[in-house]
């Protein structure tokens, strides 16, 4: 039986917070690294489409601890949107934070 996939919630939030902090720090210091962009889009296609190492896959693995093929990430300094299949979305559900 295959191991169940679980995403480390604390590591996810730590990594995302670190990335966003660096992005905001870059905005304050002249946008030399991020070039003043307002959003970042990462697309990871089907697993068999592009063999080998890809930066998008590496970022996704760093953020989640897993590669989720056929997934779209839209990152802004305020939020992260993930478009994926229902099954993968259920795996990510515990990562959500609600603000009220």
Confidence of residue 18 (pLDDT cuts 50, 70, 90): very high
Task: Output the pLDDT for position 50.
Answer: 57
Q: Is the model's pTM score more than 0.85? A: no
Stretch 62-91: mean pLDDT: 89
pLDDT in tens, 69-80: 889 999 999 999
Helices (H) and strands (E) in the chain, counts: 3, 3
Which domains, and CATH codes, for the chain?
9-18+38-94 (3.40.350.10)
- Whether residue 41 is predicted with pLDDT greater than 90 in this model: the reply is yes
Q: How many CA atoms lie within 13 A of 23 on its CB side?
A: 16
């Amino acid at each position: 039986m295959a191991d169940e996939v679980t995403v480390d919630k604390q590591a996810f939030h730590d990594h995302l917070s670190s990335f966003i902090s660096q992005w905001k720090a870059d905005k304050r210091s002249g946008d030399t690294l991020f070039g003043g962009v307002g959003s970042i889009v990462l697309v990871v296609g089907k697993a068999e489409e592009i063999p080998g190492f890809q930066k998008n896959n590496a970022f996704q693995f760093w953020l989640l601890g897993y590669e989720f093929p056929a997934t779209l990430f839209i990152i802004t300094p305020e939020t992260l949107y993930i478009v994926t299949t229902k099954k993968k979305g259920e795996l990510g559900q515990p990562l959500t934070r609600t603000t009220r």
